[in-house]
C-alpha cells in the first residue's frame, strides 16, 4: 500500500493537532503546514493597525492584500516555524490572548476564507504534506488521501492550552481560557462559511486522556493503513 501523500488534520482548538502533525510530518519527511497561522496573522495585523474587527469589508480587504509567509524556524526559541506578515516576524504575536479572542470572527468572514483558502490549496496540492486546520478535509483539500479529525472535550483542551500559555511564562486563568474556548468552538462550528466538522470520510480520533505518544501511535497506524 502506498503512503498517503496529502494528509489533512482538522479538529477544534487545542485538540493537539499541531503537535501531532509536526511529529508525523517529521517522521514521513513531509511538509507540516498549520493554516491557523494565516487567520491569526490577519487578526494580529488588524489589531495592531487598530482596525475594527467587526468591519467585514476592511478585514476582508486586509486578508486579500497581506502577504503571509511561513518558513522553517529562523530563531531557536522553541518555535515550530517562523511566520511573516508583510515581512515582519509575527510568530509569537499571533499566539497572544487578544488574537485568541478575535480570530474566530475574522475567520468567519467568507471573503477572508476565500483569500486564504486559495493560498492553502496551492501549497497543499504539492503533496507530501500534513495540513492542519478546521476545514482542510471538507473544503481546502477535499481529495486528501487521508483525513484525520482530532477531538477532545472542551475541558481537556482548555487545560492543555492553559498549561501551554503558562509554560511560555505568560499569565493565564483556566476559567477564562475555558470560556474563550467555548466561545470559539461555538463560532467555529456554527459559522456558515466552512464550519468546523469532520469530513464524511474523515477518521475521528478521540484524544481525551491520551498522551501525545498514544495519539501519535494511533495516527501512525492510520497512515500505515491499519484501521482504515
Ligand atoms: O488552530 P488555531 O487555534 O491556530 O486557529 C485559529 C482560528 O482560525 C480558529 O478560531 C479557527 C480558525 N481556522 C479556520 O477557521 N480554518 C482553518 N483552516 C484554520 C483555522
Cα of 108 to ligand 1 centre, how many Å?
10
Cα of 1 to ligand 1 centre, how many Å?
32
| Residue in the block written with cell 475521528 | 204
SS3 for 34? strand
Phi/psi zone of residue 34: left (φ > 0), alpha (ψ -120 to 50 degrees), beta?
A: beta
What is the tens place of the pLDDT at every residue in 99-140? Answer: 988 998 999 999 999 999 999 998 898 899 999 999 999 999
Cα of 50 to ligand 1 centre, how many Å?
21
What is the tens place of the pLDDT at every residue in 22-53? Answer: 999 999 999 999 999 999 999 999 999 999 99
For the beta carbon of residue 126, count every other beta carbon within 10 angstroms. Answer: 11
Please check whether residue 131 is in contact with residue 28, taking contact to mean a CB–CB distance below 8 angstroms.
Answer: no
Going from the C-alpha of 195 to that of each of 65, 112, 187, the distances in angstroms are 24, 14, 8
CB neighbour list of residue 188: distance below 8 Å, 6 or more residues apart: 12, 13, 104, 107, 134, 195, 196
SS3 for 101? helix
Whether the per-residue pLDDT at 208 is higher than 70: the answer is yes
Nearest CA to ligand 1 atom 15: 107
Going from the C-alpha of 141 to that of each of 127, 166, 182, 185, the distances in angstroms are 11, 34, 27, 22
Least confident window among 6-10, 58-62, 222-226:
222-226
Pocket test for ligand 1, best of 134, 185, 194 (most atoms within 8 A of CB): 134
Terminal CA-CA length for the chain: 12
Mean pLDDT of the chain: 93
Entry pTM: 0.89
Nearest CA to ligand 1 atom 1: 36
What is the tens place of the pLDDT at every residue in 165-182? Answer: 898 888 889 999 999 899
CATH topology of domain 11-216: Rossmann fold (3.40.50)
Cα of 36 to ligand 1 centre, how many Å?
4
Cα of 134 to ligand 1 centre, how many Å?
6
Pocket test for ligand 1, best of 63, 108, 133 (most atoms within 8 A of CB): 133
Going from the C-alpha of 44 to that of each of 157, 166, 219, the distances in angstroms are 23, 21, 32
Ligand 1 nearest atom to the CA of residue 135, by list position: 18
Please check whether residue 208 is in contact with residue 125, taking contact to mean a CB–CB distance below 8 angstroms.
Answer: no
- 136: nearest Cα among 222, 81, 202, 207: 202
What is the tens place of the pLDDT at every residue in 55-69? Answer: 999 999 999 999 998
Domain ranges of the chain: 11-216
Pocket test for ligand 1, best of 36, 109, 142 (most atoms within 8 A of CB): 36
Amino acid at each position: 500500500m502506498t503512503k498517503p501523500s496529502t494528509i489533512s488534520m482538522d479538529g477544534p482548538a487545542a485538540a493537539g493537532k499541531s503537535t501531532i502533525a509536526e511529529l508525523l510530518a517529521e517522521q514521513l519527511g513531509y511538509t507540516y503546514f498549520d493554516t491557523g497561522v494565516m487567520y491569526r496573522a490577519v487578526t494580529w495585523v488588524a489589531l495592531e493597525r487598530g482596525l475594527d474587527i467587526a468591519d467585514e469589508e476592511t478585514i476582508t480587504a486586509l486578508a486579500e492584500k497581506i502577504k503571509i509567509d511561513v518558513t522553517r524556524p529562523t530563531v531557536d526559541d522553541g518555535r515550530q516555524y517562523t511566520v511573516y506578515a508583510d515581512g515582519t516576524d509575527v510568530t509569537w504575536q499571533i499566539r497572544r490572548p487578544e488574537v485568541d479572542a478575535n480570530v474566530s470572527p475574522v475567520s468567519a468572514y467568507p471573503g477572508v476564507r476565500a483569500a486564504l483558502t486559495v493560498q492553502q490549496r496551492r501549497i497543499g496540492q504539492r503533496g507530501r504534506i500534513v495540513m492542519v486546520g478546521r476545514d482542510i478535509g471538507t473544503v481546502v483539500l477535499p481529495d486528501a488521501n487521508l483525513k484525520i479529525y482530532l477531538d477532545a472535550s472542551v475541558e481537556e483542551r482548555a487545560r492543555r492550552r492553559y498549561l501551554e500559555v503558562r509554560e511560555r511564562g505568560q499569565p493565564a486563568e483556566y476559567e477564562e481560557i475555558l470560556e474563550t474556548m467555548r466561545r470559539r468552538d461555538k463560532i467555529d462550528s456554527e459559522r456558515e462559511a466552512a464550519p468546523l466538522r469532520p469530513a464524511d470520510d474523515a477518521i475521528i480520533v478521540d484524544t481525551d486522556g491520551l498522551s501525545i505518544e498514544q495519539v501519535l501511535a494511533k495516527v501512525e497506524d492510520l497512515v500505515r493503513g491499519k484501521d482504515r
